Amino acid sequence: MQQPTPLTANDVVPIVMNTIRVNMATGYDLFLKNQVEGKICYVLYCSGEHAIRQSHLEELQSNGIQNLYIRNEDQKKYFKYIESSLSSIVKDRIDIKVKSQLVYNVAKNIMTDVFDNPRSGANVERSRGWVSGIVEHIMTNADASTNMLSMVSYDYYTYTHSVNVSVLGLLFARYIGLDSDKMDVLGTGLMLHDIGKTQIAPELVNKNGKLSNDEFVEIKKHVELGFVLLRQLGGLDEASFYAILQHHEREEGGGYPRGIKGSEIHDYGKIAKIVDVYDALTTKRSYSDARQPFNALTIMKNEMKGSFSWPYLKHFIMFLGSGGG
């Protein structure tokens, strides 16, 4: 019988061993790094059909092994697996940087599924579950804010933008003193603020360069399309809709979809507006380079006057200056 070709470093990615839950099948194969005839290869340690026991992990740890490996193509399964035990992992004694990276990658995995299947109530519920997990993470880990802020991606995709806006908004919410319940509600709205773009032609959403007037009219529909979609699915707290409906309103009016201003805009809408624009300015697009944080904030403060609530923008500038602390 022909032996399978050994896996190489190009075929696998490392995972933290502490993220594997005992007595629970993972659904993907786990490999150990090994050396055979002077060459590094990766050998099967546990198939996805079988669960690892506590004694197995202890044996690996006693031999100084901290990482197991999975095939590249199994990363999506891994993040779904992590998602199922996110609360436990948040509480676990895992390096804070590794934990923050896991939380961020789980969110990206969820949002790719949301944008692939936006009418799935299960995917929306997964978004809510992730928000609860990150709120617990940043409220119970002193260094979580700084680490999560460093995870924010600077390459623009609709799904990474949604994750970035939620992360930034939740870290800012913690900075200004919102409690966990309010953060849960706000974070879910931020996570789903652009879901309406799934109802617009992809070639328009992903267009390189400036939109025509007619195209801009079409793009602006994403706000209310998202509201209608999520209202039909149900399950969201009413206050979550403020971030969805109002993230393109302007403090002095003239925004969309309703052209409201000042006190007519909910605090969650004001926060959503700031983090949405900031992330858009600081991420790389196909038609523009990412601005540095200072330059982005300068544009927001000086060139976009009337767009933002000044008290919130001032606090947001202070928040970034503190490194998210």
pLDDT tens per residue across span 267-323: 999 999 999 999 999 987 766 778 898 999 999 999 999 999 999 999 999 999 887
**Sequence-distant contacts of 98-101: CB under 8 A, at least 24 apart:** 98/16, 99/137, 99/141, 99/144, 99/147, 100/137, 100/144, 100/147, 100/148, 100/150, 100/151, 101/151
Q: Among residues 278, 279, 275, which one has the least CA distance to residue 155?
A: 279
Taking only the tens place, the pLDDT of each residue in 189-229 is 999 999 999 999 999 988 888 889 999 999 999 999 999 99
Backbone angles phi, psi at 279, to 5 degrees: -65, -40
pTM of structure: 0.90
At residue 325, the pLDDT reads: 61
CA of residue 310 relative to chain centroid, distance: 26
Domains of the chain: 1-74 (no CATH), 85-321 (1.10.3210.10)
Contacts of 139 (CB under 8 A, 6+ apart): 174, 180, 183
CB-CB neighbours of 251 under 10 Å: 22
Q: Which two tokens stand for residue 74?
A: 């199994």
Residue 175 has pLDDT above 90, yes or no: yes
* Confidence category of residue 168, pLDDT binned at 50, 70, 90: very high
Query: Among 31-45, 180-194, 195-209, which range has the highest average pLDDT?
Result: 180-194
* Confidence category of residue 1, pLDDT binned at 50, 70, 90: very low
Name which of 33-47, 102-116, 256-270 the model is least confident about: 33-47
* Confidence category of residue 142, pLDDT binned at 50, 70, 90: confident
Residue 74 has pLDDT above 50, yes or no: yes
Q: Taken in order 71, 75, 80, 85, is the CA torsion positive or negative?
A: positive
3-state helix, strand, coil in the chain (%, to 5): 60, 10, 35
